[in-house]
Amino acid sequence: MSGSGDLVARLNRLDCCAVSDALDKLGLSGAVTGLKQFAAPRRIAGRIVTVTLGPGTPPPGPPRHLCTAAIEAAQTGDVIVVEHRSGIECGGWGGILSLGAKLRGVAGVIVEGYARDIDECRAIDFPVYARALTCRTARGRIVEQATNTPIAVGDIRVEPGDLAIADGSGAAFIKAADAARIIAAAEAIAGREAAMAQALLGGAPIGQVMGASYEHMLKE
What does the pLDDT look like over 192-215, one tens digit per residue?
999 999 999 999 999 988 886 676
pLDDT in the model for residue 211? 81
- Shared domain check, 140 and 109: yes
- Shared domain check, 134 and 168: yes
What does the pLDDT look like over 44-77, one tens digit per residue?
999 999 999 999 888 777 788 999 999 999 999 9
- Shared domain check, 197 and 113: no
- Shared domain check, 119 and 80: yes
Is the pLDDT higher at 177 or at 1? Answer: 177
Instruction: Supply the range of the domain harboring residue 193.
Output: 183-219
Instruction: Provide the CA 67 distance to its chain's centre, in angstroms.
Output: 16
In the chain, the number of structural domains is 2
- Shared domain check, 44 and 84: yes
- Shared domain check, 155 and 203: no
What does the pLDDT look like over 127-148, one tens digit per residue?
999 999 999 999 999 999 999 9
- Shared domain check, 111 and 15: yes
- Shared domain check, 85 and 145: yes
- Shared domain check, 201 and 120: no
What does the pLDDT look like over 87-108, one tens digit per residue?
999 999 999 999 999 999 999 9
**Cα–Cα nearest to 91, from 50, 33, 130, 41:** 130
**Confidence class for position 1, pLDDT limits 50, 70, 90:** very low
- Shared domain check, 199 and 110: no
Q: How many CB atoms lie within 10 A of CB 201?
A: 8
The domain that holds 87 is classified in CATH as: 3.50.30.40
47 pairs with which residues across the strands? 163
Supply the pTM of this predicted model: 0.94
Q: Above 60 in pLDDT, residue 35?
A: yes
Q: Are 181 and 7 in contact (CB under 8 A)?
A: no
